[in-house]
Amino acid sequence: MTDILEIVRSQKLTYEQKVFSLAHAAEDILDVLHVPEKTKNYFEQNAIDNLFEGNAPYRPRYILLDYDKFIKQGSKFLQLDPPKDLEELLNSLMILYRHVPSITSFPVYLGNLDKMIEPFLEGYSDEDIKKKLKLFLNYLDRTITDSFCHANLGPEDSRAGRLILEVEKELQNAVPNFTFKYDPEVTSDEIAELALYTSMFCANPAICNHNLVKDTYSSDYGIASCYNILPIGGGAYTLSRLVLPKVAQLSKDIDDFFNTILPECLQAMGDYMNERVRFLVEESGFFESSFLVKEGLIHKDRFIGMFGIVGLADCTNILLREKGKRYGHDGEADDLADKIMNTISEFVTSFPAEYSPISNGHFMLHAQVGMDYDKGVTAGVRIPVGDEPENMSDHLRHSARFHKLIPTGCSDIFAIETTARNNPSAMLDIVKGAFSLGVKYISFYEENGDLVRITGYLVKKSEMEKFRNDEAVLQNTTHLGAPNYENNNLKNRKVRGV
Protein backbone atom coordinates (compact mmCIF):
# COMPACT_ATOMS: atom_id res chain seq x y z
CA MET A 1 0.00 0.00 0.00
CA THR A 2 2.94 2.32 0.67
CA ASP A 3 4.27 1.74 -2.86
CA ILE A 4 0.84 2.43 -4.36
CA LEU A 5 0.53 5.67 -2.40
CA GLU A 6 3.96 6.72 -3.63
CA ILE A 7 2.76 6.24 -7.21
CA VAL A 8 -0.33 8.35 -6.51
CA ARG A 9 1.74 11.15 -4.94
CA SER A 10 4.56 11.15 -7.49
CA GLN A 11 5.29 14.45 -9.22
CA LYS A 12 7.68 12.79 -11.70
CA LEU A 13 4.98 10.65 -13.33
CA THR A 14 2.42 11.82 -15.85
CA TYR A 15 -1.23 10.83 -15.38
CA GLU A 16 -0.85 8.07 -17.98
CA GLN A 17 2.31 6.74 -16.33
CA LYS A 18 0.52 6.64 -12.97
CA VAL A 19 -2.36 4.66 -14.47
CA PHE A 20 0.00 2.04 -15.93
CA SER A 21 2.00 1.85 -12.69
CA LEU A 22 -1.15 1.40 -10.61
CA ALA A 23 -2.39 -1.33 -12.94
CA HIS A 24 0.90 -3.15 -12.59
CA ALA A 25 0.78 -2.81 -8.80
CA ALA A 26 -2.73 -4.28 -8.78
CA GLU A 27 -1.62 -7.26 -10.88
CA ASP A 28 1.27 -7.95 -8.52
CA ILE A 29 -1.12 -8.32 -5.60
CA LEU A 30 -2.31 -11.58 -7.21
CA ASP A 31 -0.66 -14.96 -6.63
CA VAL A 32 -1.83 -17.32 -9.37
CA LEU A 33 1.36 -18.88 -10.70
CA HIS A 34 2.70 -22.11 -9.21
CA VAL A 35 6.35 -21.31 -8.46
CA PRO A 36 8.54 -23.71 -6.42
CA GLU A 37 10.51 -22.41 -3.44
CA LYS A 38 13.87 -23.05 -5.11
CA THR A 39 12.80 -20.93 -8.08
CA LYS A 40 11.61 -18.18 -5.75
CA ASN A 41 15.03 -18.27 -4.11
CA TYR A 42 16.77 -17.75 -7.44
CA PHE A 43 14.43 -14.82 -8.10
CA GLU A 44 15.33 -13.34 -4.73
CA GLN A 45 19.02 -13.76 -5.56
CA ASN A 46 18.32 -12.01 -8.91
CA ALA A 47 19.85 -14.94 -10.80
CA ILE A 48 16.62 -15.13 -12.80
CA ASP A 49 14.32 -12.20 -13.47
CA ASN A 50 10.83 -11.90 -14.99
CA LEU A 51 11.46 -8.34 -16.21
CA PHE A 52 8.40 -6.85 -14.50
CA GLU A 53 5.94 -9.03 -16.41
CA GLY A 54 3.69 -9.19 -13.37
CA ASN A 55 2.24 -12.05 -11.37
CA ALA A 56 -0.81 -12.78 -13.54
CA PRO A 57 -0.18 -12.90 -17.32
CA TYR A 58 -3.20 -11.53 -19.17
CA ARG A 59 -1.66 -10.55 -22.53
CA PRO A 60 1.42 -11.68 -24.49
CA ARG A 61 4.56 -9.69 -23.87
CA TYR A 62 5.09 -8.80 -27.53
CA ILE A 63 2.53 -8.85 -30.35
CA LEU A 64 3.40 -8.55 -34.04
CA LEU A 65 0.19 -8.02 -35.96
CA ASP A 66 -0.26 -9.08 -39.55
CA TYR A 67 -0.75 -5.51 -40.75
CA ASP A 68 -0.89 -6.57 -44.40
CA LYS A 69 -4.00 -8.61 -43.65
CA PHE A 70 -5.52 -5.68 -41.76
CA ILE A 71 -4.95 -3.39 -44.74
CA LYS A 72 -6.63 -5.89 -47.10
CA GLN A 73 -9.66 -6.65 -44.93
CA GLY A 74 -10.10 -3.72 -42.53
CA SER A 75 -11.55 -4.50 -39.11
CA LYS A 76 -15.14 -5.39 -38.28
CA PHE A 77 -14.51 -4.80 -34.56
CA LEU A 78 -13.06 -1.32 -35.16
CA GLN A 79 -15.63 -0.58 -37.88
CA LEU A 80 -12.92 0.17 -40.41
CA ASP A 81 -13.16 -0.64 -44.12
CA PRO A 82 -10.02 -1.48 -46.10
CA PRO A 83 -8.25 1.84 -46.79
CA LYS A 84 -8.50 3.22 -50.33
CA ASP A 85 -5.96 6.05 -50.19
CA LEU A 86 -3.05 7.32 -48.11
CA GLU A 87 -5.19 9.38 -45.72
CA GLU A 88 -7.44 6.42 -44.93
CA LEU A 89 -4.43 4.13 -44.48
CA LEU A 90 -2.67 6.37 -41.98
CA ASN A 91 -5.91 7.08 -40.11
CA SER A 92 -6.77 3.35 -39.89
CA LEU A 93 -3.30 2.53 -38.58
CA MET A 94 -3.52 5.27 -35.96
CA ILE A 95 -6.80 3.77 -34.72
CA LEU A 96 -5.53 0.18 -34.78
CA TYR A 97 -2.29 0.96 -32.91
CA ARG A 98 -4.38 2.22 -30.01
CA HIS A 99 -5.79 -1.30 -29.57
CA VAL A 100 -2.63 -3.43 -29.75
CA PRO A 101 -1.58 -4.62 -26.27
CA SER A 102 1.87 -5.60 -25.00
CA ILE A 103 3.89 -5.66 -21.79
CA THR A 104 4.34 -1.88 -22.18
CA SER A 105 0.61 -1.29 -22.86
CA PHE A 106 1.65 0.15 -26.25
CA PRO A 107 2.25 -1.57 -29.58
CA VAL A 108 5.83 -2.83 -29.86
CA TYR A 109 5.60 -3.42 -33.62
CA LEU A 110 4.09 -1.04 -36.18
CA GLY A 111 4.74 -3.09 -39.32
CA ASN A 112 6.98 -2.77 -42.37
CA LEU A 113 5.88 0.81 -42.91
CA ASP A 114 7.44 1.43 -46.32
CA LYS A 115 5.83 -1.69 -47.80
CA MET A 116 2.49 -0.81 -46.20
CA ILE A 117 2.56 2.77 -47.47
CA GLU A 118 4.10 2.31 -50.94
CA PRO A 119 0.92 1.07 -52.75
CA PHE A 120 -0.97 4.21 -51.66
CA LEU A 121 1.43 6.89 -52.97
CA GLU A 122 0.28 7.22 -56.56
CA GLY A 123 -1.08 10.67 -57.31
CA TYR A 124 0.70 12.42 -54.42
CA SER A 125 3.73 14.68 -54.70
CA ASP A 126 6.75 14.03 -52.49
CA GLU A 127 6.05 17.18 -50.49
CA ASP A 128 2.43 16.22 -49.91
CA ILE A 129 3.47 12.74 -48.76
CA LYS A 130 6.14 14.12 -46.42
CA LYS A 131 3.60 16.46 -44.83
CA LYS A 132 1.26 13.55 -44.14
CA LEU A 133 4.12 11.40 -42.86
CA LYS A 134 5.27 14.12 -40.46
CA LEU A 135 1.81 14.35 -38.94
CA PHE A 136 1.58 10.56 -38.71
CA LEU A 137 5.04 10.08 -37.17
CA ASN A 138 4.58 12.93 -34.70
CA TYR A 139 1.29 11.36 -33.65
CA LEU A 140 3.12 8.10 -32.93
CA ASP A 141 5.90 9.82 -30.99
CA ARG A 142 3.48 11.80 -28.84
CA THR A 143 0.95 9.03 -28.14
CA ILE A 144 3.11 5.88 -27.98
CA THR A 145 5.09 7.22 -25.08
CA ASP A 146 7.40 4.24 -24.80
CA SER A 147 10.33 3.74 -27.17
CA PHE A 148 10.17 -0.06 -26.99
CA CYS A 149 8.29 0.33 -30.25
CA HIS A 150 9.59 -0.61 -33.68
CA ALA A 151 8.75 0.11 -37.28
CA ASN A 152 10.57 -1.76 -40.04
CA LEU A 153 11.86 -0.66 -43.45
CA GLY A 154 13.40 -2.50 -46.41
CA PRO A 155 15.07 -4.54 -47.63
CA GLU A 156 13.90 -3.23 -50.98
CA ASP A 157 14.44 0.32 -52.14
CA SER A 158 11.19 2.26 -52.36
CA ARG A 159 9.86 5.76 -52.67
CA ALA A 160 8.06 5.35 -49.33
CA GLY A 161 11.24 4.18 -47.60
CA ARG A 162 13.27 7.13 -48.86
CA LEU A 163 10.61 9.65 -47.86
CA ILE A 164 10.25 8.13 -44.38
CA LEU A 165 14.01 8.40 -43.88
CA GLU A 166 14.03 12.03 -45.04
CA VAL A 167 11.19 12.90 -42.67
CA GLU A 168 12.72 11.02 -39.75
CA LYS A 169 15.96 12.98 -40.13
CA GLU A 170 14.00 16.22 -39.79
CA LEU A 171 11.76 15.16 -36.89
CA GLN A 172 14.40 13.71 -34.54
CA ASN A 173 11.78 11.58 -32.78
CA ALA A 174 12.56 8.81 -30.29
CA VAL A 175 9.48 6.80 -31.32
CA PRO A 176 9.22 4.68 -33.32
CA ASN A 177 12.54 2.92 -33.23
CA PHE A 178 13.26 2.07 -36.90
CA THR A 179 15.07 -0.98 -38.24
CA PHE A 180 16.21 -1.18 -41.84
CA LYS A 181 16.41 -4.76 -43.11
CA TYR A 182 19.54 -4.95 -45.24
CA ASP A 183 20.26 -7.64 -47.84
CA PRO A 184 23.12 -7.00 -50.30
CA GLU A 185 21.31 -9.01 -52.97
CA VAL A 186 18.16 -6.89 -52.69
CA THR A 187 19.02 -3.53 -51.10
CA SER A 188 20.47 -0.75 -53.25
CA ASP A 189 23.57 1.02 -51.96
CA GLU A 190 21.70 4.31 -52.38
CA ILE A 191 18.94 3.62 -49.87
CA ALA A 192 21.31 1.79 -47.51
CA GLU A 193 23.58 4.84 -47.46
CA LEU A 194 20.56 7.09 -46.93
CA ALA A 195 19.56 4.96 -43.93
CA LEU A 196 23.04 5.18 -42.43
CA TYR A 197 23.30 8.91 -43.17
CA THR A 198 19.97 9.41 -41.40
CA SER A 199 21.22 7.47 -38.37
CA MET A 200 24.01 10.03 -37.97
CA PHE A 201 21.39 12.67 -37.20
CA CYS A 202 18.77 10.79 -35.17
CA ALA A 203 20.27 7.39 -34.20
CA ASN A 204 17.66 5.82 -36.47
CA PRO A 205 17.39 3.38 -38.20
CA ALA A 206 19.37 0.44 -36.88
CA ILE A 207 20.40 -2.16 -39.48
CA CYS A 208 19.35 -5.82 -39.48
CA ASN A 209 21.10 -8.62 -41.37
CA HIS A 210 18.00 -9.68 -43.33
CA ASN A 211 19.73 -12.45 -45.26
CA LEU A 212 20.87 -14.08 -42.01
CA VAL A 213 17.59 -13.90 -40.06
CA LYS A 214 14.84 -14.13 -42.71
CA ASP A 215 14.48 -17.91 -42.28
CA THR A 216 14.23 -17.88 -38.49
CA TYR A 217 10.56 -18.91 -38.70
CA SER A 218 8.31 -20.63 -41.20
CA SER A 219 6.41 -17.32 -41.41
CA ASP A 220 7.78 -13.83 -42.08
CA TYR A 221 9.55 -12.01 -39.25
CA GLY A 222 9.48 -8.52 -37.82
CA ILE A 223 11.75 -6.57 -35.49
CA ALA A 224 9.94 -5.44 -32.33
CA SER A 225 10.66 -3.72 -29.02
CA CYS A 226 14.47 -3.37 -28.91
CA TYR A 227 15.72 -5.67 -31.67
CA ASN A 228 13.58 -8.76 -31.12
CA ILE A 229 13.24 -11.08 -34.12
CA LEU A 230 9.72 -12.53 -33.87
CA PRO A 231 7.12 -14.12 -36.16
CA ILE A 232 4.55 -11.93 -37.91
CA GLY A 233 1.01 -12.79 -36.88
CA GLY A 234 2.23 -13.84 -33.45
CA GLY A 235 5.03 -12.67 -31.20
CA ALA A 236 6.35 -13.62 -27.77
CA TYR A 237 4.31 -14.96 -24.88
CA THR A 238 6.97 -14.04 -22.37
CA LEU A 239 10.60 -13.02 -21.84
CA SER A 240 12.46 -13.95 -18.69
CA ARG A 241 16.20 -13.61 -18.31
CA LEU A 242 19.11 -15.44 -16.74
CA VAL A 243 21.36 -12.86 -15.05
CA LEU A 244 24.67 -14.61 -15.67
CA PRO A 245 26.94 -12.58 -13.34
CA LYS A 246 24.59 -13.37 -10.46
CA VAL A 247 24.72 -17.06 -11.39
CA ALA A 248 28.52 -16.84 -11.33
CA GLN A 249 28.52 -15.13 -7.93
CA LEU A 250 26.40 -17.95 -6.49
CA SER A 251 28.91 -20.54 -7.72
CA LYS A 252 31.92 -21.74 -5.70
CA ASP A 253 34.05 -22.12 -8.82
CA ILE A 254 33.81 -22.89 -12.54
CA ASP A 255 32.96 -26.57 -11.91
CA ASP A 256 30.16 -25.63 -9.51
CA PHE A 257 28.89 -23.12 -12.06
CA PHE A 258 28.59 -25.72 -14.83
CA ASN A 259 27.65 -28.74 -12.75
CA THR A 260 25.19 -27.29 -10.24
CA ILE A 261 24.14 -23.63 -10.24
CA LEU A 262 23.74 -23.00 -13.98
CA PRO A 263 21.74 -26.22 -14.59
CA GLU A 264 19.47 -25.46 -11.64
CA CYS A 265 18.85 -21.91 -12.84
CA LEU A 266 18.17 -23.05 -16.40
CA GLN A 267 15.65 -25.64 -15.23
CA ALA A 268 13.99 -23.18 -12.82
CA MET A 269 13.61 -20.51 -15.49
CA GLY A 270 12.34 -22.94 -18.09
CA ASP A 271 9.69 -24.30 -15.72
CA TYR A 272 8.73 -20.77 -14.67
CA MET A 273 8.31 -19.64 -18.29
CA ASN A 274 6.15 -22.67 -19.03
CA GLU A 275 3.96 -21.79 -16.06
CA ARG A 276 3.51 -18.23 -17.39
CA VAL A 277 2.63 -19.52 -20.86
CA ARG A 278 0.23 -22.09 -19.43
CA PHE A 279 -1.69 -19.50 -17.43
CA LEU A 280 -1.82 -17.06 -20.34
CA VAL A 281 -3.13 -19.66 -22.78
CA GLU A 282 -5.35 -21.74 -20.50
CA GLU A 283 -6.68 -19.29 -17.92
CA SER A 284 -6.34 -15.64 -18.94
CA GLY A 285 -8.93 -15.76 -21.74
CA PHE A 286 -6.82 -13.52 -23.97
CA PHE A 287 -6.88 -15.74 -27.06
CA GLU A 288 -10.62 -16.38 -26.68
CA SER A 289 -11.62 -12.73 -26.29
CA SER A 290 -9.27 -10.64 -28.43
CA PHE A 291 -10.63 -9.29 -31.72
CA LEU A 292 -7.07 -9.54 -33.04
CA VAL A 293 -7.39 -13.33 -32.85
CA LYS A 294 -10.96 -13.45 -34.16
CA GLU A 295 -10.03 -11.37 -37.23
CA GLY A 296 -6.96 -13.46 -37.98
CA LEU A 297 -4.41 -10.74 -37.26
CA ILE A 298 -2.60 -12.90 -34.71
CA HIS A 299 -2.53 -16.67 -34.15
CA LYS A 300 -1.73 -18.55 -30.96
CA ASP A 301 0.48 -21.02 -32.83
CA ARG A 302 2.83 -18.20 -33.88
CA PHE A 303 3.92 -17.20 -30.39
CA ILE A 304 7.16 -18.25 -28.72
CA GLY A 305 8.83 -17.93 -25.32
CA MET A 306 12.01 -15.85 -25.28
CA PHE A 307 14.73 -17.30 -23.05
CA GLY A 308 16.85 -14.26 -22.24
CA ILE A 309 20.44 -14.08 -21.07
CA VAL A 310 22.30 -10.98 -19.91
CA GLY A 311 25.81 -10.22 -18.68
CA LEU A 312 27.84 -12.91 -20.46
CA ALA A 313 30.92 -10.67 -20.28
CA ASP A 314 30.59 -9.99 -16.55
CA CYS A 315 29.92 -13.66 -15.80
CA THR A 316 33.05 -14.71 -17.68
CA ASN A 317 35.18 -12.07 -15.96
CA ILE A 318 33.92 -13.15 -12.51
CA LEU A 319 34.71 -16.81 -13.16
CA LEU A 320 38.22 -15.91 -14.36
CA ARG A 321 38.94 -13.07 -11.95
CA GLU A 322 41.83 -14.90 -10.27
CA LYS A 323 43.53 -15.26 -13.64
CA GLY A 324 42.75 -11.69 -14.67
CA LYS A 325 41.40 -12.80 -18.05
CA ARG A 326 38.88 -10.48 -19.76
CA TYR A 327 36.02 -11.17 -22.12
CA GLY A 328 36.72 -9.69 -25.52
CA HIS A 329 40.49 -9.56 -24.95
CA ASP A 330 41.74 -13.03 -24.00
CA GLY A 331 41.26 -16.29 -25.84
CA GLU A 332 40.73 -18.25 -22.63
CA ALA A 333 37.95 -15.89 -21.56
CA ASP A 334 36.22 -16.01 -24.92
CA ASP A 335 36.48 -19.82 -25.02
CA LEU A 336 34.86 -20.00 -21.58
CA ALA A 337 32.10 -17.64 -22.72
CA ASP A 338 31.60 -19.83 -25.77
CA LYS A 339 31.22 -22.88 -23.52
CA ILE A 340 28.66 -21.02 -21.37
CA MET A 341 26.63 -20.03 -24.43
CA ASN A 342 26.71 -23.53 -25.91
CA THR A 343 25.63 -25.03 -22.59
CA ILE A 344 22.68 -22.64 -22.41
CA SER A 345 21.82 -23.17 -26.08
CA GLU A 346 21.82 -26.95 -25.69
CA PHE A 347 19.40 -26.66 -22.77
CA VAL A 348 17.06 -24.24 -24.53
CA THR A 349 16.92 -26.21 -27.79
CA SER A 350 16.04 -29.43 -25.92
CA PHE A 351 13.77 -28.16 -23.13
CA PRO A 352 10.06 -28.71 -24.00
CA ALA A 353 8.13 -25.43 -24.18
CA GLU A 354 4.35 -25.21 -23.86
CA TYR A 355 2.19 -24.09 -26.82
CA SER A 356 5.13 -23.24 -29.10
CA PRO A 357 4.73 -25.06 -32.45
CA ILE A 358 6.37 -22.34 -34.56
CA SER A 359 9.60 -22.84 -32.60
CA ASN A 360 9.29 -26.65 -32.75
CA GLY A 361 8.13 -26.89 -29.15
CA HIS A 362 11.09 -25.07 -27.60
CA PHE A 363 11.96 -21.65 -26.25
CA MET A 364 14.37 -19.45 -28.19
CA LEU A 365 17.48 -17.68 -26.93
CA HIS A 366 17.57 -13.90 -26.71
CA ALA A 367 20.36 -11.46 -25.76
CA GLN A 368 18.49 -9.31 -23.25
CA VAL A 369 19.60 -5.69 -23.02
CA GLY A 370 19.51 -5.01 -19.30
CA MET A 371 17.37 -2.96 -16.94
CA ASP A 372 17.61 0.43 -15.25
CA TYR A 373 18.48 -1.22 -11.92
CA ASP A 374 21.37 -3.26 -13.33
CA LYS A 375 24.86 -2.42 -12.09
CA GLY A 376 27.82 -4.33 -13.40
CA VAL A 377 25.60 -6.18 -15.85
CA THR A 378 26.49 -5.75 -19.52
CA ALA A 379 23.73 -6.07 -22.09
CA GLY A 380 23.39 -9.48 -23.73
CA VAL A 381 26.68 -10.77 -25.12
CA ARG A 382 28.29 -7.36 -25.60
CA ILE A 383 31.72 -6.27 -24.44
CA PRO A 384 31.46 -3.89 -21.44
CA VAL A 385 31.42 -0.18 -22.18
CA GLY A 386 34.88 1.29 -21.68
CA ASP A 387 36.59 -2.05 -22.34
CA GLU A 388 35.98 -2.28 -26.08
CA PRO A 389 38.78 -3.50 -28.36
CA GLU A 390 40.79 -0.74 -29.96
CA ASN A 391 40.18 -2.11 -33.45
CA MET A 392 36.56 -2.04 -34.61
CA SER A 393 37.06 -5.07 -36.87
CA ASP A 394 38.22 -7.12 -33.84
CA HIS A 395 35.11 -5.96 -31.99
CA LEU A 396 32.85 -7.07 -34.84
CA ARG A 397 34.54 -10.47 -35.18
CA HIS A 398 33.98 -11.02 -31.48
CA SER A 399 30.32 -10.00 -31.80
CA ALA A 400 29.75 -12.39 -34.70
CA ARG A 401 31.09 -15.30 -32.66
CA PHE A 402 28.41 -14.81 -30.02
CA HIS A 403 25.53 -13.70 -32.24
CA LYS A 404 25.33 -17.07 -33.99
CA LEU A 405 23.57 -18.93 -31.16
CA ILE A 406 20.92 -16.27 -30.52
CA PRO A 407 17.95 -16.52 -32.92
CA THR A 408 15.57 -13.94 -31.43
CA GLY A 409 17.84 -10.94 -31.28
CA CYS A 410 21.24 -9.60 -30.33
CA SER A 411 22.93 -6.37 -31.31
CA ASP A 412 25.90 -4.09 -31.00
CA ILE A 413 25.88 -0.30 -30.70
CA PHE A 414 28.58 2.06 -31.90
CA ALA A 415 29.01 5.74 -31.16
CA ILE A 416 30.47 7.34 -34.28
CA GLU A 417 32.46 10.50 -34.92
CA THR A 418 30.50 13.38 -36.46
CA THR A 419 32.65 13.28 -39.58
CA ALA A 420 30.95 10.00 -40.59
CA ARG A 421 28.08 12.13 -41.89
CA ASN A 422 30.35 12.96 -44.81
CA ASN A 423 31.06 9.33 -45.69
CA PRO A 424 27.99 7.06 -45.54
CA SER A 425 29.58 4.76 -48.14
CA ALA A 426 32.34 3.93 -45.63
CA MET A 427 29.68 3.19 -43.01
CA LEU A 428 28.00 0.85 -45.46
CA ASP A 429 31.33 -0.92 -45.95
CA ILE A 430 31.41 -1.51 -42.17
CA VAL A 431 27.89 -2.96 -42.28
CA LYS A 432 28.70 -5.19 -45.23
CA GLY A 433 31.83 -6.46 -43.50
CA ALA A 434 30.06 -7.02 -40.19
CA PHE A 435 27.19 -8.90 -41.80
CA SER A 436 29.57 -11.07 -43.83
CA LEU A 437 31.12 -12.16 -40.52
CA GLY A 438 27.71 -13.11 -39.08
CA VAL A 439 26.74 -10.02 -37.07
CA LYS A 440 22.93 -9.99 -36.94
CA TYR A 441 22.09 -6.43 -35.96
CA ILE A 442 24.05 -3.19 -35.66
CA SER A 443 23.22 0.41 -34.80
CA PHE A 444 25.02 3.72 -34.81
CA TYR A 445 24.56 7.16 -33.33
CA GLU A 446 26.54 10.36 -33.69
CA GLU A 447 28.68 11.11 -30.65
CA ASN A 448 27.26 14.60 -29.99
CA GLY A 449 23.62 14.02 -30.94
CA ASP A 450 20.68 14.43 -28.57
CA LEU A 451 19.28 11.00 -29.36
CA VAL A 452 21.27 8.13 -27.89
CA ARG A 453 20.65 4.39 -28.10
CA ILE A 454 20.66 3.12 -24.51
CA THR A 455 20.64 -0.64 -24.95
CA GLY A 456 18.30 -1.10 -27.89
CA TYR A 457 15.85 1.74 -27.38
CA LEU A 458 16.26 5.48 -27.98
CA VAL A 459 16.19 8.28 -25.43
CA LYS A 460 17.02 11.96 -25.72
CA LYS A 461 19.83 13.29 -23.55
CA SER A 462 17.81 16.47 -23.03
CA GLU A 463 14.86 14.46 -21.69
CA MET A 464 17.11 12.47 -19.34
CA GLU A 465 18.38 15.74 -17.91
CA LYS A 466 14.80 16.91 -17.27
CA PHE A 467 14.04 13.64 -15.48
CA ARG A 468 17.15 13.97 -13.31
CA ASN A 469 15.87 17.41 -12.33
CA ASP A 470 12.60 15.82 -11.13
CA GLU A 471 10.56 17.04 -14.10
CA ALA A 472 7.84 14.90 -15.64
CA VAL A 473 8.77 13.64 -19.12
CA LEU A 474 6.54 12.35 -21.90
CA GLN A 475 8.14 8.96 -22.51
CA ASN A 476 8.40 6.44 -19.70
CA THR A 477 11.49 4.87 -21.28
CA THR A 478 13.33 8.00 -20.18
CA HIS A 479 12.77 6.69 -16.63
CA LEU A 480 14.71 3.55 -17.62
CA GLY A 481 17.25 5.26 -19.81
CA ALA A 482 18.49 7.88 -17.35
CA PRO A 483 19.70 5.47 -14.62
CA ASN A 484 20.93 2.94 -17.20
CA TYR A 485 22.98 5.65 -18.92
CA GLU A 486 24.64 6.44 -15.59
CA ASN A 487 24.91 2.93 -14.09
CA ASN A 488 26.56 1.47 -17.16
CA ASN A 489 28.67 4.53 -18.08
CA LEU A 490 27.20 4.70 -21.57
CA LYS A 491 28.70 8.16 -22.10
CA ASN A 492 32.07 6.34 -22.15
CA ARG A 493 31.30 4.16 -25.18
CA LYS A 494 34.34 4.14 -27.44
CA VAL A 495 33.74 6.62 -30.27
CA ARG A 496 34.64 5.07 -33.61
CA GLY A 497 35.99 6.90 -36.62
CA VAL A 498 35.02 6.08 -40.21
Using one digit for the tens of pLDDT, what is the confidence trace for 189-247?
999 999 999 999 999 999 999 999 999 999 999 999 989 999 999 999 999 999 999 99
User: Are 316 and 420 found together in one domain?
Assistant: yes
Q: Which of 165, 193, 224 is the last residue of a domain?
A: 224
What is the band of 3 on the pLDDT scale with cuts at 50, 70, 90? confident
User: Are 2 and 44 found together in one domain?
Assistant: no
User: Are 283 and 370 found together in one domain?
Assistant: yes
Whole-number pLDDT of residue 365: 98
The CA distances from residue 79 to 70, 71, 75, 83, 136, in Å, are: 12, 13, 6, 12, 21
User: Are 160 and 104 found together in one domain?
Assistant: yes
User: Are 10 and 38 found together in one domain?
Assistant: no
What is the band of 1 on the pLDDT scale with cuts at 50, 70, 90? low
Whole-number pLDDT of residue 275: 98
Q: Which of 189, 224, 259 is the last residue of a domain?
A: 224
User: Region 23-42: what's the mean pLDDT?
Assistant: 95
User: Are 276 and 170 found together in one domain?
Assistant: no
Q: Is residue 179 part of a domain?
A: yes
Whole-number pLDDT of residue 395: 97
Q: Is residue 217 part of a domain?
A: yes
Q: Is residue 445 part of a domain?
A: yes
Sign of the four-CA dihedral 195, 200, 204, 210: positive
User: Are 309 and 193 found together in one domain?
Assistant: no
Could you list the residue range(s) of the whole structural domain that residue 369 is in?
Answer: 34-58+242-492
How many folded domains does the chain comprise? 3
* Residues 390-426 pLDDT 10s: 999 999 999 999 999 999 999 999 999 999 999 999 9
User: Are 373 and 475 found together in one domain?
Assistant: yes
Mean per-residue pLDDT over the chain, rounded: 96
Share of the chain above pLDDT 70, in %: 100
Rounded distance between C-alpha atoms, residue 397 and residue 16, angstroms: 43
User: Are 137 and 201 found together in one domain?
Assistant: yes
Q: How far is CA 59 from the centre of its chain?
A: 18
User: Are 54 and 18 found together in one domain?
Assistant: no
Q: Is residue 234 part of a domain?
A: no
Higher pLDDT, 198 or 473: 198
Q: Is residue 362 part of a domain?
A: yes
User: Are 350 and 437 found together in one domain?
Assistant: yes
Higher pLDDT, 45 or 369: 45
Whole-number pLDDT of residue 12: 87
Q: Is the pLDDT of residue 2 over 80?
A: no
Q: Is residue 231 part of a domain?
A: no
Q: Is the pLDDT of residue 85 over 90?
A: yes
Q: Is the pLDDT of residue 31 over 70?
A: yes
Q: Which of 190, 224, 258 is the last residue of a domain?
A: 224
Q: Is the pLDDT of residue 287 over 90?
A: yes
User: Are 158 and 278 found together in one domain?
Assistant: no
* Residues 411-467 pLDDT 10s: 999 999 999 999 999 999 999 999 999 999 999 999 999 999 988 889 999 999 999
Q: Is residue 232 part of a domain?
A: no
Q: Is residue 497 part of a domain?
A: no
